[in-house]
Structure 1
Amino acid sequence: MAASADGLKPISRQATAGLIADQLREAIMSGAFAQGDQLGEVDLAQRFNVSRGPVREAMQRLVQEGLLRAVRHRGLFVTELTTADIIDIYAARTAVESAAVRLILERHPERTAATLAKVLAKMTRAADRGDSAALSKADLAFHEALVAASESPRLQRMATTLLVETRMCLSALPPMYSTSSDLVNEHEKIVLAIKNGDGAGALEFLDAHMQDAINRLSNHLE
């Protein structure tokens, strides 16, 4: 089955609302559906080749996740993120990822550092070839791997939604870093601190990285 320009593909009539939500979530994250776009239930049902029921359920899931917002008498729209939203997203990410770092340091810092080093290598290769899209993808994969290493399902669930919102921010803006090496270096410091069991250092570098991202994103929006 052929995909449309925004990546949506017809799916089996037996497919669950979860599969529809996954495709819509990816389209929002990638910017295929821009912030402020209206999504119509009937149109989406036709494009997915399913009834309106599972589409409605999928869209309500995204409302609960904060990716769509309901406007009375008008319908559902892709959430538009403000500077205040960005600050809140990164504050929440800092809390979640700091908690993950603390658990990692209690359990398996060296193993986690080795896992993160592999993702960091992808970031480095993307930076070396000037591939900003691949660099951004590897950046988010790094933070996803960091939280996954905590082995906390609840932290992972919270991080998933926050990283989706982060991708929404990044897809709507030009590259934030004038030199890709700055981004790589920030992550390298976090990995080294975890490897050395330096909890205070890891948390300090993580917090600095998040604050730097807030400043750069806010400057782009002003």
Structure 2
Amino acid sequence: MTAGAVLYAGKDDDGTAAAPPPPATSGSSATPGPSAVPSVTAALPSGAPSALPSLLARPVIRPEQAFPAKSVRLDDGSRYERVDLATTTDCSEGMSPELAALIRQGQGCERLTAALFTDAERRSQVTVSVLSFRTVQDASTVFAMASMDPVTYQVVSLDPPPEAGLPTVPPGSAGVFRRLMTVRSVVFANGQWGDGAQTEEAAITAETEDLLQYADDNVVAYEDPSSV
């Protein structure tokens, strides 16, 4: 496993995480579009398992394996509810255009599965996504680019379904972006307060990182059982 860089979208004067920059308008040249995505080639990671060919021969992880429970209790006693679960083999549907363009340079994504969690107080909304690839090199490329620029190369957050009884996070709200890499997948976590608040950054960061680690442990246990 490889830990993602600790990056925020930015900082406001009060030290809270700032919202991602607004999308560029048609007359703006400050933010490049998907056509400007750099060409990136990644080598096989030096720490790749020796049994890699047999591991890659297995099917990619299924939604119920990545996110097996609706009610999650972590080792520290914190509890979370999974309020939504979505999966698709058309991975471009659930990510930024820049990330989709980057993935098209390689052999492609096999499955994107995303789960939306909220805490016991139902204040937070943390989307954890598992993006599984055909090759380790493609996973490594995506992980590297998302670590360098987590706002541009991001998997989108899920909106809560009506039956969850949660508000939709206001557009442009502050967010925490984290990621980890497994054998052939990149696990993303995007955390926000449901009301879009930019306070208690440490708390939303901790929740985001804890749920990221929970999902990452599930993915690693499936993709490389001998490592756990």
TM-score between both structures, scaled by the size of structure 1: 0.28
Larger Rg: 1
TM-score between both structures, scaled by the size of structure 2: 0.27
More strand by share: 2
More helix by share: 1
